[in-house]
Structure 1
Amino acid sequence: MRLRNRPWAKPLIEENPQYVVTSPEEFKGKWDTRFEKEAPLFIEIGMGKGQFIVEMAKQHPENNYIGMELQTVATGYALKKQLENKLPNLQLVRANGAALTEYFEKDEVDGIYLNFSDPWPKKRQAKRRLTYPTFLKQYQSVMKKQGHIEFKTDNRGLFEYSIVSMNNFGMEFDQIWLDLHATPDLTDNVLTEYEEKFRKKGPIYKLEAHFK
């Protein structure tokens, strides 16, 4: 979802290079230098306004997190949250998630989150879906062998497509939820802004998977 332009967003990003990376290729293979300490590295591709990745960094200080977002305004909102919290294990990246292999070395990443990605519903748009094989190939390259992908959406069509795409790519599924918020023992789910708003309007689908 494209956000309305906010004139403050770009200057705010430029004023806080300690929290926002705009040239991620410069840190390929050395992302640990952006954090207070070396730790497992997790990425959210398409972080939106940053609620999920900020909360993950709060709850898991033993890990390092990167929130990646193409939209300047969304990155600006996420940065506001980070400025409030000043989390030493969180970095924001304003860049296109389609170029992960330009930003990360092989086996540099421990896990990837895909939350409520654009479904690109038309058949001709399939290559833009974040679970299309070309994206999966990049995830496989940058992620450690034991790493996992977590994917959430409220779009049934995208969810079904993603299961088929991942299966055909040779991935293994650890768990699949057809109605996440109806799960009786749901205790560690971190909400995105979108999920918080729309979870009562229909089921939230989720899967966890890894490469063989």
Structure 2
Amino acid sequence: MRMRNKPWAGPELDACPFFIRNPQQQRGAWHDWFGNGNPLHLELGCGKGFFIAGAAPQNPGINYLGIDLKDVVLAPAKRKIESAFDGAPVDNVALTAFDIERLALIMNERDTVERIYINFCNPWPRPRHKKRRLTYPTRLAEYKKLLSPGGELWFKTDDDGLFHDTIQYVKDSGFMISALTYDLPLEPLDGVENFQTEHELMFREKGIPIKALRACPIG
């Protein structure tokens, strides 16, 4: 879906202390940017920030890095996150605009992450486009380089085809599935609270079940 232009988005993000304009300069040094030694959680395709706005204020001992492609999306995310902190300093969140398909240009093995979230990514249903999926095996190989020992990939989608294929992708890529559901409940799953995204709220209103899995690299 085409996003409306927001002339205010760029200047407002540039003035935001938790927005990074040139993420290539942070490659290998994301932990230094936060400067607190806390574990890092990465959301690929953070959209309008609903997930991080829910998770970050409740987990001050975790650093969150949200990546999406354009200012027009991240500016509303910045506002959503600030609102969730209700005037308190936003000191465990970083947002940046970059093409997730080129993630290796802004992160490397020194940027170890405890958890990677992929929430409602583009399903790319046509066979010739499937290599662009964020859960495709070539992507999973990149994530394995970033995940710390015991780190996990958390994935949510409304798309049946993408979920079915992703289950096979993670198995083929040397991940073990630790939790899987075809109808994610609102209450905690295995004791883990579910922070909803804007897409999840929309799909639930339409009665579409949310599919989810957690997986960790083997070995």
Distance in 2 separating the partners of 1:175 and 1:164: 14
Q: What's the counterpart of residue 51 of structure 2?
A: 52
Q: Secondary structure at the match of 1:113?
A: strand
Aligned to 2:32: 33
Q: Does 1:98 align with 2:101?
A: yes
Identify the residue that residue 9 of structure 1 maps to in structure 2. Answer: 9
Is the contact between residue 100 and residue 139 of structure 1 (CA under 8 Å) also seen in structure 2?
A: no
**Separation (CA, whole Å) in 2 of partners of 1:135 and 1:2:** 25
Question: Aligned in 2, Cα 1:118/1:204: closer, same or farther, shift over 3 Å?
Answer: same
Q: Name the Cα RMSD after superposition.
A: 1.8
Q: Deviations over 1:161-202 (max 9, x none)?
A: 111111111211001011012778677111001111211321
Listed one character per residue, the Cα deviations across residues 55-98 of structure 1 (whole Å, up to 9, x for unaligned) are 11111111100011102211111111234333210010111112
Q: Which has the higher helix share?
A: 1
Give the Cα–Cα distance (whole angstroms) in 1 for the partners of residues 182 and 35 of structure 2. Answer: 38
Q: Which amino acid aligns with 1:58?
A: P
Q: Distance in 2 between matches of 1:60 and 1:195?
A: 21
The alignment covers a number of residue pairs equal to 211
Instruction: Tell me if 1:190 matches 2:189.
Output: no
Structure 2: gaps spanning 5 or more residues: none
The answer to whether the 8 A contact 2:52-2:81 is kept is: no
In structure 1, distance between residues paired with 2:193 and 2:146: 26
Structure 2 Cα separation of the partners of residues 96 and 53 of structure 1: 19
| Most deviating of 183-192 and 122-131 | 183-192
Cα offset for 1:33? 2.9
Change (3 A) 1:2 1:145: farther
TM-score norm. by structure 2 comes to: 0.90
Alignment partner, residue 215 of structure 2: 209
**TM, length-normalised to structure 1:** 0.92
Partner of 2:130, secondary structure, is helix
Q: Does 1:131 align with 2:135?
A: yes
SS at match of 1:3: coil
More divergent stretch after superposition (60-69 vs 96-105): 96-105
Moved over 4 A (4+): 182-187
Q: Distance in 1 between matches of 2:97 and 2:186?
A: 34
